[in-house]
Amino acid sequence: MVWNNLVVVKNLKLWSGRFDKNTEKAVDDFNSSIRFDSRMYKQDILGSIAHADMLGKCGIIKIDESELIQKTLNEICEDIQNGLVTFETDAEDIHMNIEKILIDRIGDTGKKLHTGRSRNDQVALDIRMYLIDECSIIKNMILQLMETVLGICKNNLDTVMPGYTHLQRAQPVTLAHHFTAYFQMFKRDIGRLEDCVKRMDVMPLGSGALAATTYPLDRYYVSEKLGFSDITANSMDGVSDRDFVIELASVLSVFMMHISRLSEEIIIWSTGEFSFIELDDAYSTGSSIMPQKKNPDVAELARGKTGRMYGNLISILTVMKALPLAYNKDMQEDKEAIFDSVDTVKMCIPAFKGMLATMRINKDIMRKAAGKGFTNATDFADYLVKKGISFRNAHEITGRLVNDCIALNSGIEDMELNFLKKYSPLIEADVYEAIDLKTCVNQRNIPGGPSYEAVLKTVEQGYVFLESKKDM
């Protein structure tokens, strides 16, 4: 239509004043992000409420207008939660959808909400708020997983098993010692997650499109209302920074790498060749053709999904690697990748935790496996050192003894004392106690070692750590 020689485009878009044509449907579909960013509706509305409150407080809009906008936004949030709102692709994203609904309900007053604000700083705010909320959920889930791990440790302080290097039997340890290693990994994951949130916890609203605004906004007021610790220090960085998205993708990738390592061991241990554990039926699957099969699908899927997490991290890094300041539409691509990483972790942890909590541990088989492969050979060498032989000579003597025992198909502990004395006259009957598997484990009684006492202390410290996180 034409009015006073002005062409008016009949268009739903709130930015259409500059344009003479409607956007092609294919472009609308390509450009729209509502299909995945709608999950941020609550954060978008909370940010808009704080912004409207500040606009009224600063006298940029009237108080009654601010109050009407806030009231209506709360109503919209409730309607969305009750499934009464249908988002439109034409409105592009969650920000424009909510603003359009607001304007439809209260008319021109709703158009004042966007005063002093751009979608660029709005989306930067929403994604920070959303990911901070998700980090809190994931942190609690990891802590619950760690509690399950500690329970396994507590119940297996004296469950002797072989420790491995190069996937070859190396030295005897306990299952508790083995699992406290994973507890330490997950503890570091918690630390990384907390550090990531610290850098996420800055409020970008007020940055505008890139050069802030001429309106006298009170950014600190908005920051305080939304629970942020600080505000961004540079408007261009405020709208274009996605370091926190990359960092979270990295943190979650490292966590899933730890899950994948444990998955690999669960898969190996559940094989007939090892039989260290048996997975509960509720956390296993069968074969469509082989009726005897019991497959560790939870562990295998967790291992497989780790590669997906790496892909998301590389995707976001690649999107950001050559972007000039400030905002670019490329940055819309960060959402699906980080949302997928968040969803994948949240889906993985409960299944993985349940699998660990219900698996049956075959302690006798683990103990027998520790007795094979000369896992006490290092202790035999240490025995010789304590008798006054240098470690290098003791190492050589023990190596020759092991080689001969292999030929005889016997363990060191199976050989008679006279046979052992051929390798050193210093060897006495006390050697059998020295190379007993329990002795091998419990003599390593230093902080971080596998002894019953050392691991018990580590487990107790683990529970203290978990308790310290309950109120955070």
> Which residues are known catalytic residues?
166, 287
Looking up tokens 């698996």 gives 359
Q: Which two tokens stand for residue 377?
A: 């050979």
Angstrom distance (rounded) from CA 227 to CA 207: 18
In this structure, the number of other CB atoms found within 10 A of the CB of residue 232 comes to: 23
What is the helix (H) or strand (E) element at residue 191, kind and residue range? helix 175-200
Q: What distance separates the 2 farthest-apart alpha carbons in the chain?
A: 115
Angstrom distance (rounded) from CA 247 to CA 422: 60
Range 303-312 burial, b when 16+ CB lie within 10 A, else e:
bebbeebeeb
The DSSP string of 255-321 is HHHHHHHHHHHHHHHTSTTT-SEE--GGG-B--SS-TT--B-HHHHHHHHHHHHHHHHHHHHHHHHT
Q: Give residue 283's identity as a one-letter amino acid code.
A: Y
- 3-state DSSP assignment of residue 210: coil
What is the helix (H) or strand (E) element at residue 231, kind and residue range? strand 230-231
Q: Which two tokens stand for residue 164?
A: 């491995």
Q: Which two tokens stand for residue 272?
A: 């007939």
In a 10 Å sphere around its CB, with 0-12 CB exposed, 13-18 middle and 19+ buried, how is residue 172 labelled?
A: buried
Q: Give residue 360's identity as a one-letter amino acid code.
A: R
358 Cα distance to chain centroid: 23
Angstrom distance (rounded) from CA 188 to CA 352: 19
